[in-house]
């Protein structure tokens, strides 16, 4: 069941939800759970709920329906009240030229000063001010355009209606000319046809000026695909541009949670704003979009967004991989946080979060946990997951390292001041990727050194280090051809990314020092790094490559393709050396064989008859025929996409263990593939003082083939106590216990 709409009952800790089956549900928020108390269902098309409004007292819920009637429900008993405002009664006092079906109840608004008066807005443009005590309308207002929403001003002297042609109209309630608009209809983005303004609010700013907030209204021909919320205050006009559909929005007041009056918290607030009207002052705008929550500080001179303490969109760009790092050192963590603060400098407002509650206070923990998420746009985001809330720390982007037609630099910030409508991009959600080859497939972070290693969809490996100051340097390339010994191999996939040449300027934070490029440029399927030795290894569907990150040079590579497979990885097999037509034909033959055997069994179970001998001969003949057509190849089996390539490298692992003999431990590299093959390499690493002068050497020591040929998804070396070995960077150089291998 889909929740279509929900509304809260102020001061009660209760919610009311409207579901797509036209049923209402009353919920209560307890300490640890949300409990459904009662429900009420409406049946019939005319009782389809089209608008909802809660009385300021919280006693009743007003419901507008498709049939034009207005019902009310007791919020405590959750039962239907008898006082129904029927459309027929309302129409008796309408103008003669408008006594037609006004349509569904589109909006219901309670008067801010006189709760017994409500505005009822109908779909076709009729608005009625209804007196609930007298059970009669006091004023009627007629618009030529279809109605979308209604909103009272702070004092209840006039209200504003928004319409489907992108216009809004202000109507005066008091006075002789109350049935006429106070002002002419305003189409902010006209005169050409515009989209509907789905919701509008009129509030008072902290400066005492009127502020108008509305969603939609964009020109149909040019910006019909935009999701916007426009804020206007005098000459100040901004159309906030969202990348996902705007669900709803509302404003919050500047009164802090402890109830301190406005003048005590904001001394610069004009004196004409009285304490009794503080609830009508708009201090922040909360916008709920389909993919994220955005809060704009209306007290800020630039209307900048506030930093979210929770509900940050993890999938701002589609998540393609994730990596959790435990026990991140204090130095690395602090440098990441400092780099993230520099990234967001002047982006967010320094104002106070306007919503009380929802923030969980957790004790200060010494063991830092950082989650790295790789995204489709080539970015890596760092999150603090030590506590309950995922807090964004830093964002590193690999796209600036590469050039190409698909990878462009955005200059929207320079054009925002000149274009009309005055768009301003807000929010972090961005579903679009410049180039799918930028997608991050594997990511690693060393918790002690802070080194970052990224494997991409185009066979590229980015090696970056954490720096506290900006720098300008050239990024070196490390090309490796994994299939260099396969003359007949032909790559039919995408091209590799083009690395930018010349010096590049990097801000403080992670700065790339080298980019390895594997050929063919298939996606990286496994990645491992050992920063005590200064080496990085990456695997693809074709093999693996070992890189020297300190000397920026390739060390070795191993092709895992079948030597007899000339088609190469990338062609998913449908069958075992036979066509689909042949396989289907043999399946029908086996089906006929099964039916014949069932008939034979039934005949054998019957009493002896003259036909038994003939049936036995017939069965023998069928058996001989089936033996001739029995397939030689094994049956086709459904295989997942991950198991389609036997040559795919699934895991990589560095360890110092006893591979050659039991007397001396040596640095080793282990690799597991999709067809159950394990490769073990020995690595010779020069001494620390000669590390940058002498090369690292690596050679294949052992090759293990598992009989069941199941994919090897992980390799770990255990010590004599069956405990996994720690990272060599975390321990001394000598290990005093024997090791055993666990696959």
What pLDDT shows up at residue 730?
65
User: pLDDT tens across 447-481, in order?
Assistant: 999 999 999 999 999 999 999 999 999 999 999 99
6 Cβ contact partners less than 8 Å away, ≥ 6 residues apart: 15, 16, 17, 18
Q: What per-residue confidence (pLDDT) applies to 183?
A: 83
Number of helices (H) and strands (E), helices first, in the chain? 7, 45
* Separation of alpha carbons 434 and 375, rounded Å: 12
Tell me which H or E stretch contains 287. strand 284-289
| Cα–Cα distance measured from residue 305 to residue 567, given in angstroms and rounded to the nearest whole number | 54
d(CA 267, CA 220): 44
256 and 332 both lie in a single domain: no
d(CA 118, CA 445): 60
291 and 388 inside one domain: no
pLDDT of residue 597: 56
Residue 641 has pLDDT above 50, yes or no: no
> What are the structure tokens assigned to 38, written together?
């009662």
pLDDT at 56 over 80: yes
Cα(297)–Cα(312) distance, integer angstroms: 17
Question: How does pLDDT run across 513-566, given as a tens digit for each residue?
Answer: 999 999 999 999 999 999 999 999 999 999 999 999 999 999 999 999 887 654
Residue 127: predicted pLDDT: 92
And the tokens for 408? 């462009």
Distance CA 304, CA 426 (A): 9
Distance of alpha carbon 502 from alpha carbon 8, whole angstroms? 58
Judge contact between 734 and 706, C-beta under 8 A.
Answer: no
Q: Where are the beta strands (DSSP E) in 60-205?
A: 60-65, 70-74, 105-110, 117-122, 126-131, 136-142, 147-152, 158-163, 168-172, 197-204
Is residue 580 a part of any domain in this protein? no
pLDDT of residue 510: 97
What are the strands, taking DSSP E only, across 564-658? 649-657
Q: Say if residue 738's pLDDT is above 80.
A: no
In a domain, 693, yes or no: yes
What is the bridge-based pairing of β-strands 236-242 and 423-425? parallel
Q: Are residues 286 and 250 in the same domain?
A: yes
Which is nearest to 476 in space by CA: 451, 501, 452?
Answer: 501
Co-location of 323 and 438 in the same domain: yes
Q: What is the pLDDT of residues 227-281, one digit of tens each?
A: 999 999 999 999 999 999 999 999 998 855 454 444 333 334 333 333 333 457 8
326 in the same domain as 209:
no
pLDDT digits (tens, 9 = 90+) for 181-218: 878 899 999 899 999 999 999 999 988 899 999 999 99
530 within some domain: no
DSSP assigned state of 522: P
Q: Which of 492, 524, 556 is the last residue of a domain?
A: 524
**Lowest model confidence (mean pLDDT) among 360-364, 476-480, 520-524, 690-694:** 360-364
| Residue 45 pLDDT level (bands cut at 50, 70, 90) | confident
β-pair partners for 150: 161
Residue 122 confidence (pLDDT) above 50: yes
> CA-CA distance, 320 to 457, in Å (whole number)?
10
Q: Please report, rounded to a whole number, the percentage of residues in the chain having pLDDT higher than 90.
A: 58
Identify the band that residue 579 occupies on the pLDDT scale cut at 50, 70 and 90: low
Tell me the mean pLDDT in the region 443-448. 95
Higher-confidence position of 476 and 138 = 476
Model-level pTM? 0.81
Task: Report yes or no on 590 lying in a domain.
Answer: no
Average of per-residue pLDDT across 401-429: 72
Regarding whether 397 and 281 lie in a shared domain, the answer is no
DSSP 3-state percent helix, strand, coil across the chain (nearest 5): 15, 40, 45
Distance between CA atoms of residues 36 and 16, nearest Å: 10
Query: Alpha helix (H) ranges present in 309-380?
Result: 330-343
Q: Are residues 323 and 285 in the same domain?
A: no
| Residue at 96 is within a domain | no
In a domain, 45, yes or no: no
pLDDT band at 397 (very low <50, low <70, confident <90, very high): very high
Same domain, 473 and 383: yes
Please check the confidence at residue 147 and state whether its pLDDT lies above 80.
yes
Determine the longest span between alpha carbons in the chain, in angstroms: 115
Q: In this structure, are 326 and 286 located in the same domain?
A: no
Claim to verify: residue 256 and residue 395 sit in the same structural domain: no
Cα–Cα dist 286/307, whole Å: 12
What average pLDDT does the segment 323-334 reach? 93
- In this prediction, residues 718-734 reach a mean pLDDT of 69
Task: Output the pLDDT for position 490.
Answer: 86
Q: Does any domain span residue 380?
A: yes
For the cut 60, the answer to whether the pLDDT of residue 735 exceeds it is: no
658 and 738 share one domain = yes
Q: Would you state the pLDDT for residue 688?
A: 81
Residue 335 has pLDDT above 70, yes or no: yes
ω into 421 cis (within 30 of 0): yes
* Residue where one domain finishes, among candidates 524, 541, 562: 524
Residue 535 token pair: 């080496």
What pLDDT was estimated at residue 296? 97
Higher pLDDT, residue 266 or 132? 132
What pLDDT is attached to residue 13? 87
Q: Identify the domain containing residue 737 by its residue range.
A: 641-742
- Are 262 and 209 within one domain? yes
Among 501, 524, 547, identify where a domain stops: 524
Sign of the Cα torsion 90, 92, 98, 104 reads: positive
Tokens of 449: 């050194």
Structure tokens at 185: 């209809």
Mean per-residue pLDDT over the chain, rounded:
83
The pLDDT value given to residue 274: 35
Distance in Å from the first CA to the final CA of the chain? 45
* Separation of alpha carbons 674 and 600, rounded Å: 44
Q: How many structural domains are present in the chain?
A: 3
């Amino acid at each position: 069941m889909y929740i279509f709409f929900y509304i809260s009952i102020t001061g009660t800790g209760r919610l009311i939800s409207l579901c797509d089956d036209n049923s209402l549900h009353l919920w209560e928020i307890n300490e640890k759970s949300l409990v459904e108390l009662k429900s009420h269902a409406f049946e019939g098309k005319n009782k389809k709920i089209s608008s909802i409004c809660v009385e300021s007292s919280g006693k009743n819920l007003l419901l507008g329906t498709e049939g034009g009637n207005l019902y009310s429900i007791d919020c405590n008993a959750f039962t239907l009240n008898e006082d129904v405002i029927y459309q027929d009664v309302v129409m008796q006092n309408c103008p003669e030229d408008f006594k037609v079906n006004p349509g569904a109840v589109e909006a219901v608004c309670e008067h801010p000063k006189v709760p017994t008066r409500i505005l009822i807005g109908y779909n076709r443009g009729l608005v009625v001010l209804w007196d609930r005590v007298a059970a009669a309308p006091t004023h009627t207002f007629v618009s030529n355009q279809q109605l979308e929403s209604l909103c009272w001003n702070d004092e209840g002297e006039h209200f504003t209606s928004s319409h489907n042609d992108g216009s809004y109209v202000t109507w005066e309630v008091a006075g002789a000319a109350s049935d006429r608009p106070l002002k002419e209809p305003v189409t902010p983005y006209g005169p050409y046809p515009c989209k509907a303004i789905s919701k509008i609010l009129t509030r008072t700013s902290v400066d005492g000026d009127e502020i108008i907030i509305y969603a939609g209204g964009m020109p149909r021909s040019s910006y019909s695909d935009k999701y916007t919320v426009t804020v206007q205050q005098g000459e100040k006009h901004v159309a906030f541009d969202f990348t996902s559909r705007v669900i709803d929005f509302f404003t919050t007041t500047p009164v802090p949670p402890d109830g301190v009056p406005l003048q005590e918290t904001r001394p610069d607030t004009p004196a004409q704003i009285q304490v009794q009207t503080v609830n009508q002052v708009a201090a922040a705008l909360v916008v709920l979009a389909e993919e994220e929550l955005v809060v704009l500080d209306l007290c800020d001179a630039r209307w900048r967004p506030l930093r979210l303490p929770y509900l940050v969109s993890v999938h701002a760009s589609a998540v393609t991989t994730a990596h959790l790092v435990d026990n991140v050192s204090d130095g690395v963590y602090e440098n990441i946080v400092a780099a993230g603060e520099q990234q967001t400098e002047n982006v967010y407002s320094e104002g106070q979060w306007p919503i009380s509650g929802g923030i969980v206070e957790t004790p200060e923990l010494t063991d830092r946990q950082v989650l790295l998420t790789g995204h489709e746009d080539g970015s890596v985001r760092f999150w603090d997951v030590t506590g309950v809330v995922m807090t964004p720390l830093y964002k590193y982007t690999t796209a600036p390292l590469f050039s190409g037609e698909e990878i462009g630099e955005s200059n929207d910030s320079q054009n925002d001041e000149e274009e009309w409508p005055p768009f301003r991009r807000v929010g972090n959600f961005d579903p679009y990727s410049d180039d799918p080859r930028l997608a991050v497939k594997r990511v690693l972070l060393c918790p002690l050194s802070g080194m970052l290693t990224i494997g991409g969809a185009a066979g590229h490996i980015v090696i970056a280090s954490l720096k506290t100051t900006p720098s300008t340097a050239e990024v070196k390339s490390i090309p490796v051809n994994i299939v260099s010994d396969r003359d007949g191999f032909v790559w039919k996939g995408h091209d590799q990314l083009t690395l930018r040449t010349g010096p590049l300027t990097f801000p403080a934070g992670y700065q790339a020092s080298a980019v390895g490029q594997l050929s063919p440029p298939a996606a990286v399927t496994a990645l491992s790094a050992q920063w005590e030795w200064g080496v990085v290894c990456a695997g693809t569907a074709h093999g693996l490559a070992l890189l020297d990150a300190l000397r920026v040079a390739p060390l070795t590579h191993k092709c895992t393709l079948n030597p007899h497979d000339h088609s190469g990885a990338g062609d998913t097999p449908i069958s075992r050396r036979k066509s689909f037509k042949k396989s289907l034909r043999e399946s029908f033959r086996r089906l006929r064989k099964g039916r014949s055997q069932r008939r034979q069994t039934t005949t054998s179970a019957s009493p002896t008859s003259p036909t038994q001998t003939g049936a036995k001969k017939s069965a023998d003949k069928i058996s001989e025929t089936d033996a001739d057509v029995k397939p030689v190849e094994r049956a086709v089996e459904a295989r997942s996409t991950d198991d389609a390539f036997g040559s795919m490298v699934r895991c990589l692992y560095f360890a110092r263990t006893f591979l050659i003999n039991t007397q001396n431990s040596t640095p080793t590299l282990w690799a597991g593939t999709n067809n159950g093959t394990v490769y073990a390499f020995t690595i010779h690493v020069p001494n620390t003082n000669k590390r940058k002068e002498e090369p690292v050497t690596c050679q294949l020591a052992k090759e293990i083939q598992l009989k069941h040929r199941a994919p090897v998804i992980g390799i770990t070396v255990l010590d004599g106590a069956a405990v996994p070995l720690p990272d060599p960077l975390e321990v001394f150089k000598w290990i005093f216990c024997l090791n055993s291998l666990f696959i």
